């Protein structure tokens, strides 16, 4: 659970505490996620899911964060925070985490599954009937799709796609032309399932599977008739996959991105995974082929891609090994029998997802689409997922003659292709599609509905801390805010016009927008509270976010804490602020909540004596969010609704005694466990119980 401190900086600020390293803090977050796979109070299939989540997170980490460290190592240069030393320290931490994953997989999870009658059967453990079935499956389903490539001057090493499964084979003897080319590569098509369930007739009353890699391994000899397979190993290479497109140098961003996606699968290699038993000869051959140093090699005791084991969760019909189903409540502030527009004239609506259903947001859009008085709908799209509901509603709005404007962020990482498809579909039906501002990602989540009411036009708006994605809305905690507040909706209109025309943004009355005001206003709020605390007044900051890596905001918080501001930070992932360091950050506590749902709400609370302010936001406190993205933060001014957010999003999490971790002065996280007679409190479990008191799912003891 260690976040490694950065090397001391040679500058005048020697009295300042060193900030924690962002990449190591990210790995510490994944260690906290992995703890859910360790916990025996978590259902078995869910433990496997958390193991797979960590693997997925690490894949993305390598794809996005590893390349600068590797490049500095290869060039033997010191480039900013990247160096040979940074690469080696990061590689050591990654190896420890990966080793922990596979130790847990082999020593705890697989034996636990076997005790439940569920097993992935290795070749040496298969009965004669099972081997016969596997042989037939190989001949019928796999062999026709496999083309082994023997390497020679006319058959160079083939292009190996990012994160694809492959085998390398060393052969003895001569080929059909009398040559001794000894290395061959077998590329495994991605369309093939990684787990195959054995039929009941050969499963001996159990739920048995074979892995695709095991099936291929046992039949490699069948692919090389007349040759002897002397050595072999599965392998997978991870490549740098962060798309870099110079927006100012392209005529059509959508076309440039689509072309870039073709090359993403074949970027620079950053990690090589092989079987634990892979020979030094083969591993050295692969390292040389991919131009990687030895520390980029990961020998694993199991499948090289644990992410694909999520198939096991889908293939096993054992509800008793999963979390109890949770059905979100319909938003409590919404009356299903009344027009949302009429309800909003009385009060704003807050929806706390996933405890309350995203259906409330869909209903807002649905009523706007079907209301003949609604003239225009404007919306931002960052990630929509595969659920078609929102796209279907926007399509229907166009069909009904409404003006539909959608700002689609094409550069949403790893969702580029899906968003390009969304943009093309919307353009094809007549919607106005915009791509935001050159050089900035539009990460703000907002929808604006313009409705004719009598002789005037009235605006209604939706803003959210999360995406317009019905699937993740069931898995992520977020706040949706639907409002008829004239000042807020007028600000939203200004933002949409700015994104469309790129004209100067008018002064906004309530919204804070990045890259213009958000960073400056946050720094100012923190500074003002610091001055108040220094003068002896009561001052408090509580901020909840996904990541805290912006150095200006971190230094500002440290200064405010020194002046007496009491600061609590609820940061799910990477946090570079060193908490509880004597003489520096005594007044700052940092905790991370890892639960059944992914914590995603961004809530910023500032109190000066009895004056309270609370903002919701789409932005984390990261430099990219402050200066390279279009982000929004907006105030919740209704005292009752503000208190609701304080209670549910802040207080509940500050008192969590089940799923919370606290950052110590030594840079490590320790799990918070309530000791004594009082029952432990888990924030997410309490919120599920509050919104669905008759259906309280398992959340851990």
Which H or E element spans position 643?
helix 639-645
Cis ω before 354 (30° cut-off from 0): yes
Q: Is 231 helix (H, G, I), strand (E, B) or coil?
A: strand
Q: In 3-state terms, the chain is what percent helix, strand and coil (to 5)?
A: 40, 25, 40
Among residues 443, 498, 584, 600, which one is catalytic?
A: 443
Over its C-alpha atoms, the chain yields an Rg (Å, rounded) of 27
> Alpha helix locations (H) across 39-151?
44-75, 84-104, 110-115, 128-137
Q: Is 200 exposed, middle or buried (0-12, 13-18, 19+ CB in 10 A)?
A: exposed
Q: Is 240 a catalytic residue?
A: no
Cis ω before 234 (30° cut-off from 0): no
Q: Is 514 helix (H, G, I), strand (E, B) or coil?
A: strand
Q: Choose among 532, 577, 572, 524: nearest CA to 550.
A: 577
- Strands 476-483 vs 598-599: parallel, antiparallel or unpaired: parallel
β-bridge partners, 378: 405, 448
Q: Report the interhelical angle of 518-534 vs 551-562 (nearest 10°).
A: 10
Q: Alpha carbon 511 to chain centroid distance? A: 26
Q: How many CB atoms lie within 10 A of CB 619?
A: 28
Q: In whole angstroms, what is the distance from residue 24 CA to residue 574 CA?
A: 8
DSSP 68-90: HHHHHHHHT--BTTBSHHHHHHH
CB 236 within 8 A of CB 212: no
Positions marked active-site = 443
């Amino acid at each position: 659970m260690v976040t490694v401190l950065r090397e001391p900086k040679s500058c005048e600020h020697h009295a300042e505490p060193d900030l924690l390293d962002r990449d190591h803090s990210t790995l510490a977050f994944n260690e906290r996620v992995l703890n859910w796979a360790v916990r025996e109070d978590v259902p078995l299939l869910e433990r496997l899911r958390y193991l797979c989540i960590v693997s997925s997170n690490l894949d993305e980490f390598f794809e996005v964060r590893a390349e600068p460290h590797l490049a500095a190592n290869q060039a033997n240069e010191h480039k900013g925070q990247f160096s040979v030393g940074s690469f080696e320290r990061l590689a050591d931490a990654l190896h420890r985490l990966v080793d922990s994953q596979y130790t847990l997989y082999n020593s705890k999870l697989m034996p636990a599954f076997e005790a439940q009658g569920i097993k992935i059967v290795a070749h040496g453990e298969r009965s004669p009937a099972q081997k016969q079935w596997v042989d037939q499956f190989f001949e019928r389903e796999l062999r026709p799709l496999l083309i082994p490539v023997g390497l020679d001057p006319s058959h160079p090493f083939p292009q190996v796609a990012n994160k694809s499964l492959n085998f390398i084979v060393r052969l003895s003897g001569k080929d059909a032309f009398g040559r001794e080319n000894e290395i061959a590569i077998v590329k495994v098509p991605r369309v093939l399932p990684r787990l195959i369930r054995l039929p009941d007739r050969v499963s001996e009353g159990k739920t048995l599977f074979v892995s695709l890699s095991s099936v291929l391994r046992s039949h490699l000899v069948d692919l090389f008739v007349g040759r002897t397979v002397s050595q072999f190993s599965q392998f997978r290479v991870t490549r740098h996959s962060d798309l870099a497109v110079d927006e100012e140098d392209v005529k059509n961003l959508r076309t440039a991105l689509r072309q870039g996606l073709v090359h993403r699968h074949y970027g620079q290699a950053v990690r090589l995974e092989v079987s634990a038993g892979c020979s030094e000869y083969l591993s050295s051959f692969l390292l040389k082929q991919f131009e990687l140093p030895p520390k980029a090699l990961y020998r694993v005791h199991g499948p090289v891609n644990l992410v694909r084991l999520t198939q096991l969760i889908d293939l096993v019909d054992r509800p008793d090994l999963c979390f109890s189903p949770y059905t979100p409540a319909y938003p409590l502030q919404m009356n299903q029998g009344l027009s949302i527009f009429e309800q909003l004239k009385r009060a704003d609506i807050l929806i706390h997802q996933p405890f309350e259903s995203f259906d409330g947001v869909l209903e807002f859009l649905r009523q706007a689409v079907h209301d003949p008085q609604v003239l225009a709908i404007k919306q931002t799209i960052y990630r929509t997922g595969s659920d078609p509901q929102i796209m279907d509603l926007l399509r229907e709005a166009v069909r009904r003659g409404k003006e539909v404007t959608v700002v689609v962020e094409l550069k949403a990482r790893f969702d580029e292709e899906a968003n390009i498809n969304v943009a093309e579909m919307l353009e094809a039906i007549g919607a106005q599609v915009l791509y935001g501002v050159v050089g900035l990602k539009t990460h703000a989540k907002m929808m604006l509905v313009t409705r004719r009411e009598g002789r005037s036009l009235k605006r209604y708006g939706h803003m959210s801390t999360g995406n317009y994605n019905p699937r993740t809305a069931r898995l992520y905690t977020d706040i949706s805010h639907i409002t008829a507040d004239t000042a807020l909706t007028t600000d939203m209109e200004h933002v949409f016009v700015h994104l469309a025309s790129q004209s100067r943004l008018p002064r906004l009355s309530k919204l804070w927008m990045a890259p213009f005001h958000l960073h400056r206003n946050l720094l100012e709020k923190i500074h003002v509270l610091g001055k108040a605390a220094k003068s002896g007044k009561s001052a408090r900051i509580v901020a909840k976010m996904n990541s805290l890596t912006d150095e200006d905001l971190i230094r500002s918080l440290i200064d405010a804490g020194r002046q007496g501001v009491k600061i609590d930070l609820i940061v799910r992932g990477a946090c570079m602020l060193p908490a509880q360091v004597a003489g520096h950050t005594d007044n700052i506590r940092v905790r991370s909540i890892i639960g059944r749902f992914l914590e995603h709400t961004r809530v910023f609370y500032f109190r000066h004596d009895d004056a309270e302010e609370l903002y919701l936001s789409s932005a984390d406190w990261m430099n990219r969010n402050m200066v390279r993205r279009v982000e929004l933060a907006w105030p919740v001014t209704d005292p009752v609704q503000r208190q609701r957010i304080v209670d549910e999003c802040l207080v509940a999490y500050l008192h969590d005694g089940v799923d919370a971790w606290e950052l110590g002065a030594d840079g490590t996280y320790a799990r918070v466990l309530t000791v004594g007679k009082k029952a432990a409190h888990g924030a997410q479990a309490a919120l599920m119980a509050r919104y669905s008191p008759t259906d309280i799912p398992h959340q851990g003891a």
